[in-house]
Amino acid sequence: MNLISILKINKVNEDYFDYVDTVYDLINHPKVKSMNEYIQHGDITTLNHCLNVSYKSFLISKKLNLDCNSCARAGLLHDFFLYDWHNHEPMDTLHGFAHPLIALRNAEENFQLNELEKDIIIKHMWPLTLKLPRHKESYIVCFVDKYCSLTEIVISNLNRIYHWSLVKKSFVKNLLKFS
Ligand SMILES: [Fe+2]
Ligand SMILES: [Fe+2]
């Protein structure tokens, strides 16, 4: 896993090394690695999405003197549901409502979590899931998740449009050649 390129880091610094220290056991765990087998948005895997949410939440909460370690760890596990959500309806309800609880259960089965980390994971879909987050850190991960999701969807759609405009251009070019 090339963490530096996934996180789009130009220059490694102290923050990056602190981050890696904090999530080292998680990123080397086979079940966490298996999130790379599932697509989250566009062509972004669930693992890459979670790494982005985790790292951005870590940096913001560190700047604000909050619990950046819990933000990093719970951010990485917030979508630890381990299935392809595009063709799977868990617990007879919509993925959007069900997956925070599934992610929390999986995380608790595999790792030791503190109360803050549990709140971050279970509340990250707020306001879709009605219960209010109890901590500032939970709001940070919740909003960073929305920001990353939106960015991933927009970028993948732009890439698709760009790709199709290239295909169209070359098609017209070839058509003109043979006309
Ligand atoms: Fe989620
Ligand atoms: Fe997410």
Confirm whether 8 is domain-assigned.
no
pLDDT confidence of residue 81: 96
Measure 174 CA to ligand 1 centroid, in angstroms.
Answer: 44
Residue 50's CATH number: 1.10.3210.10
Tell me, yes or no, whether 168 lies in a domain. Answer: yes
Q: Which residues have C-beta under 5 Å from ligand 1, the single-atom ion? A: 79
CA 1 to ligand 1 centroid distance, Å: 22
Here the tokens at position 148 are 């990353």
The average pLDDT across 19-24 equals 98
The answer to whether position 5 is within a domain reads: no
**Predicted local distance difference test score (pLDDT) of residue 175:** 73
Q: What is the pTM of this model?
A: 0.88
Residue 7 lies in a domain: no
Q: How far is the CA of 133 from the centre of ligand 1 (A)?
A: 14
* Beta strands in 42-157, from DSSP E residues, in sequence order: 44-45
Number of domains in the chain: 1
Domain with 139, as residue range(s), is 13-178
Query: ∠ CA 56-57-61 to the nearest 5 degrees?
Result: 120
Is residue 6 assigned to a domain?
no
CA of 78 to the centre of ligand 1 (A): 6
3 within a domain of the structure (yes/no): no
pLDDT at 164 over 90: no
Nearest-ligand number for the alpha carbon of 145: 2
- Write out pLDDT tens, residues 97-141: 999 999 999 999 999 999 999 999 999 999 998 899 999 999 999
Average pLDDT over residues 142-170: 85
> Which ligand is nearest to the Cα of residue 152, counting in written order?
2
DSSP-assigned letter for residue 82 = -
pLDDT digit string, tens, across residues 68-103? 999 999 999 999 999 999 887 776 788 999 999 999
Pairing of strands 39-41, 44-45: antiparallel
- Show the 3-state SS of 4-41: HHHCCCCCCCHHHHHHHHHHHHHHCCHHHHHHHHCEEE
Domain annotation covers residue 75: yes
Question: Of 40-49, 56-65, 87-96, 138-147, where does mean pLDDT reach its minimum?
Answer: 87-96
Higher-scoring residue by pLDDT: 76, 41: 76
Within-domain flag for 2: no
Distances (CA, A) of 145 to 49, 57, 148, 151, 176: 8, 9, 5, 10, 46
Beta bridge partners of 44: 41
- Give the pLDDT score at 121: 98
pLDDT computed for residue 91 by the predictor: 67
Please provide the average confidence, as pLDDT, over all residues in the chain. 92
The arithmetic mean of pLDDT across residues 149-169, rounded, is: 81
Q: CB neighbours of 45 closer than 8 A, spacing ≥ 6?
A: 35, 36, 37, 38, 39
Task: Decide which of 176 and 109 is more confident.
Answer: 109
